Chains A and B, each alone.
Chain A
Amino acid sequence: MTPQEQERIEQLLKQSLPPTGTQSAADLQRDLWPAMLRRLAQRSTSVPWFDWALLATLFVGLALFPKAIPILLYHL
């Protein structure tokens, strides 16, 4: 690719996709902290996959060995 070609493509690119600084939404229009708080709350209440795996293992174990249910209830 010649330097002239490179220059031409660069110019074409700038004409096709002008810098975002020239757009009206270049600056943040609102405070995102409320959205951040929602995100933090959402993540803190969600159950990790490992806990679901443990629960599934427990149910499978109880299904295979139903006699273990009273023992489990006694220990709860």
Chain B
Amino acid sequence: MMPVADPSSDVLQRFSRGDVEAFEVLFRRHQGEVYRWILRIVRNPACAEDLTVETFWRIHRAHARFDPARGFEAWARRIATNAALDHLRSAKPESELPDDLPQPERADPGVSLELRRKTAHAFKRLPPKLRIAATLALIEEQPYKEIAEALGISTQAVKIRVFRALRLLRKNLKQQGIEP
């Protein structure tokens, strides 16, 4: 019996050689997933769309460095995370905040809108590296291993960043007169 070639492996091989059609196949296959990952970080749909294109532009440029033996998803997620991090570094924290905060599914009546707004403000003033780790781990509840791969650090380092983010957030809230 003739061995059947894996079509997805063939696409990855062709992409690594700079084939634009293979790039299109990968783009169409992964754009939704990359968009969702970026949205989790930047929390703005329009911005996430722009950054998805930026991510695939970086992917296209780096095709020669891609190793087809390793997975595309994890590689793409790492590039997407870097693109989102660059965006957070360049954006002003105040400009990212929506006028009306989305209501959580299980809203706590003890937490006022004003308190939620102040917490969101304080959170968005955290350093981007800490904010990404805390957003993905605590708000989006992504697995620590996945976050570590996307950030290119160890799982332990992610936990440290999350803890530092919470400590800094508590300090910021206390400065605003809020005792968590």
Q: Residue-by-residue, is A1-39 near B (CB-CB < 8 Å gives 1, otherwise 0)?
A: 100011011111111111111110111111111011001
Q: Is B102 within 8 A of A23, CB to CB?
A: yes
The DSSP consensus for interface residues of chain B is helix
B 145-175 contacts with A by CB, 8 A: 163, 166-167, 169-170, 173
Give the residue name and chain of the A residue nearest to B52 (CB).
A32
Q: Kindly list 14 other residue pairs between chains A and B, CB separation below 8 angstroms, not including A17-B101, A33-B28.
A: A1-B166, A5-B180, A8-B180, A15-B108, A15-B119, A16-B123, A19-B140, A20-B36, A21-B140, A22-B102, A22-B105, A28-B35, A28-B49, A35-B53
Contact B53 A18 (CB under 8 A): no
B103 touches A36 (CB 8 A): no
Q: Name the 9 nearest CB pairs between A and B, nearest first.
A: A25-B45, A18-B104, A16-B119, A16-B116, A28-B35, A16-B120, A15-B111, A28-B32, A9-B180
B residues whose Cβ falls under 8 Å from a Cβ of A: 24, 27-28, 31-32, 35-36, 39-40, 43, 45, 49, 52-53, 56-57, 60, 101-105, 107-108, 111, 115-117, 119-120, 123, 134-135, 138-141, 163, 166-167, 169-170, 173, 180
